[in-house]
Structure 1
Amino acid sequence: MPKKELVLETFSKISNVYDYMNDFMTLGMHRDWKNLLIKETFKFYKGSDVLDIGSGTGDLVFLVKKRYPDVRVVALDINDNMIKKLRQRIERNNIKNVEIVKSFAEDMPFENESFGAIISSYTVRNLEDIERSFKEIYRITKKPGVFGFLELSEPKIFKNLFWFYLDKILPFFGEKIGCREEYEYLGQSLRAFLSPEKITLLLKRVGFKKVYIAHVCAGVSTIYIAVK
């Protein structure tokens, strides 16, 4: 199955338990990591619109609107179920000046240099063509502007325990909610993902002049900040 179809199918199936499982998998720590992503990214923010790629149920959208209530945020996702959840959440919380766009990251419907900041969490490893997506992101980032994202990574310590958790524990609990294969995908997607060093080189190759990385929770996740 092509990766785009696999990702669509996976996230369609887990959309109803997505937020709950994120809290369960990380003991709620993903919220702190996302807050740190926004804090570090917006050190380089010079104004203008903000784009959230792979917005899902909108955690990053809400974090940005909390800090910058008047800023226009565009939430981009390709999954109809996730978009529905996001729209309901926006309406329920009466959040203004948020536009939802359905699109793949590899070919986005925006003009050159449209956004002062582009953000994303746990999306990049799910992209079918990461280099093409990075080129698109560079194209639509203003100069000066910033692209910041959070992604899973392999920790340097307790590596065996980490993989046991991804390969055995998460699929076990996933099976309890009828989503074993979907949570097996988590470990599979990380194994196929690029190392932080290779991601850094790729970001520079597409044009970003400076790239900073910060490991969180002993390297379980990594924050990448790419400055244009």
Structure 2
Amino acid sequence: MVNPYNDSELGKKQQVAEMFNSIAPKYDFLNHWLSFGIDKLWRKKAVKLLKPFKPKDILDVATGTGDFALEAMKLNPNHIIGMDISEGMMNIAAAKIEKLHLNDTISFEVGDSEDMRFETSSIDAITVGFGVRNFEHLEKGLSEFHRVLKSGGVACVLEFSKPRVFPIKQLYNFYSYYILPLWGRLISKDTRAYTYLPESVSAFPDGEDFIKVMKKVGFNSVKEYRLTFGIATIYFATK
């Protein structure tokens, strides 16, 4: 298991919360700048895949600063709940929602993806952007997704993946292990956050390996959509 802080005695969940609380003020700037804004296009693609299902009650897990929840407003839902273990990130998300006067539709709460408070078969769609690789117990978290979704409900997981084609693979690895951590440290002042990112991507079971885990917990249909030469992937699963 890859943890944000190797010298910490805290569990992975607590370390992840601590890390995101630390970088929260600079997160949006770094996220969009270091990805050249492509992350916004990835979320748009994910929401387009959700559109035919017309979900009304949406749960955005690992909501962070709320970008996926805001993009999901294009689906005209009744309610979006953004859940995260980092209060620092959600404070920034809440400020965005307040500014856009969307408090009646989007709400935020601290929550653990592996032990969610929601009733079984109560949610139309679950979204999660760049969050599942931070789960302490991946299978347990995905089992919770399956439990809370209604029959016919969908889970839309957007996550980083590993490019496999030359020279994209080599360029991506160089950028991830040398350029990204350098700028991340300089701007966020957290010496580990942007080193942990490529390490966690490398350790994550992407592609067919991730699909196998989703099917193992009960999803009977899982499709993958590889994006931007395989730098990211959308996993789209139905219950």
C-alpha distance in 2 between matches for 1:187 and 1:51: 26
Establish whether residue 212 from structure 1 lines up as the match of residue 219 from structure 2: no
C-alpha distance in 1 between matches for 2:163 and 2:210: 16
Gaps of 5+ in 1: none
TM-score where L is the length of structure 1: 0.95
C-alpha distance in 1 between matches for 2:41 and 2:176: 20
- Pick the aligned partner of 1:176 from 182, 186, 198: 186
C-alpha distance in 1 between matches for 2:15 and 2:50: 30
Instruction: Give the deviation of 1:184 after TM superposition.
Output: 0.4
Equivalent residue for 1:37?
Answer: 46
Establish whether residue 86 from structure 1 lines up as the match of residue 101 from structure 2: no
Amino acid at match of 2:182: F
Residues 46 and 144 in structure 1, CA contact (< 8 A), matched pair in contact too: no
Instruction: Give the deviation of 1:67 after TM superposition.
Output: 3.1
TM-score where L is the length of structure 2: 0.91
Instruction: Give the deviation of 1:9 after TM superposition.
Output: 1.7
Residues 80 and 106 in structure 2, CA contact (< 8 A), matched pair in contact too: yes
- Pick the aligned partner of 1:127 from 121, 132, 135: 135
Amino acid at match of 1:217: T
- Pick the aligned partner of 1:71 from 78, 95, 102: 78
- Pick the aligned partner of 2:25 from 16, 23, 28: 16
Equivalent residue of 1:179, what SS?
coil
Equivalent residue for 1:141?
Answer: 149
Give the superposed CA RMSD.
1.2
What does 1:47-66 align with in structure 2 at a 5 Å threshold?
47-66=55-74
- Comparing 45-54 and 129-138, the one that deviates more: 45-54
Establish whether residue 156 from structure 1 lines up as the match of residue 156 from structure 2: no
Instruction: Give the deviation of 1:214 after TM superposition.
Output: 0.5
C-alpha distance in 1 between matches for 2:152 and 2:44: 22
Equivalent residue for 2:16?
Answer: 7
Equivalent residue of 1:147, what SS?
strand
Establish whether residue 201 from structure 1 lines up as the match of residue 181 from structure 2: no
User: In the TM superposition, what whole-angstrom CA distance separates every residue of 1:129-166 from its partner, at most 9, and x where no partner exists?
Assistant: 11000110000000111000100000012212111111
Equivalent residue of 1:23, what SS?
helix
- Pick the aligned partner of 1:97 from 105, 108, 117: 105
Residues 173 and 180 in structure 1, CA contact (< 8 A), matched pair in contact too: no
Say how many residue pairs are matched: 226
Amino acid at match of 1:89: K
| Large movers: runs of 4+ above 6 Å | none
Residues 106 and 136 in structure 1, CA contact (< 8 A), matched pair in contact too: yes
C-alpha distance in 2 between matches for 1:109 and 1:101: 11
